[in-house]
Amino acid sequence: MELFESIPPQILQFVVIPLLIMLARICDVTIGTIRIIFVSRGLRLLASVMGFIEVLIWIIVVSRIITDIGGWVNYLAYAAGFAIGNFVGITFENRLAMGMVALRVITNKPADELIDHLKQEYHGVTSIAARGVSGDVRLVFAVIKRKDIPYFLKIVNSYNPKAYVSIEDVRTLSKTHQPPESANDKSMANRMRFTLKRK
């Protein structure tokens, strides 16, 4: 610990060590959150690697707390790191936007133009006529990349802002049909093929 020899003992005990514990715990919990997501999506190898790193960090941090007598500040740092780690992990996973999602859109307005638009952007779109509480509706179903959710919803809202939309994760997907390139990767010119009409 030559690195800390020049630091006054009180600063080391009440500031430096607690901060290191909190940062380590943030990393640990962030990795754990992402690992759980990988497990839920069947990514066994990535989940195993994340689990190894997570437990290694956890053991190092806990051993530091146990051997530090009277380190109540360390306990607070440990708890704060856990709380922040959950927030950071979920935020990081949302930014990664990994995997596929299934979207169901229920609209009680004519949906032909919406369906045509969605088929141009995501060619795996299925629609059926259905009956809801308020009468006849159209059910539109699509499987897209998770990072395309905002753009997909923007299309739906442009045709019917009151459409009911549900989203759920897709763990496995048949190779008979795979979604095309991300809509976000397409040029603006391609996105403007349709005039978005509000019905």
CA 124/CA 119 separation, integer angstroms: 7
Q: What is the mean pLDDT of residues 9-22?
A: 83
Q: Kindly report, residue by residue over 113-165, the tens digit of the pLDDT.
A: 988 998 888 767 899 999 888 789 999 999 888 888 999 999 999 999 999 99
Specify the length of the chain in residues: 199
Confidence of residue 192 (pLDDT cuts 50, 70, 90): very low
Residue 198: what pLDDT? 37
CA 71/CA 61 separation, integer angstroms: 13
Query: Under DSSP, is residue 14 helix (H, G, I), strand (E, B) or coil?
Result: helix
DSSP string, 37-97: HHHHTT-HHHHHHHHHHHHHHHHHHHHHHHHSTT-HHHHHHHHHHHHHHHHHHHHHHHHH-
Q: Kindly report, residue by residue over 81-117, the tens digit of the pLDDT.
A: 999 999 998 888 777 777 788 999 999 988 899 889 9
Those residues whose C-beta lies under 8 Å from the C-beta of residue 35, and which sit 6 or more positions away, are 47, 50, 51, 54
What is each CA distance from 70 to 30, 62, 74, 78, in whole angstroms?
27, 14, 9, 14
Lowest average pLDDT, out of 5-19, 46-60, 137-151, 167-181, goes to: 167-181
Amino acid at 160: N
Q: Is the pLDDT at 189 greater than 70, yes or no?
A: no
Mean pLDDT taken over the chain: 80
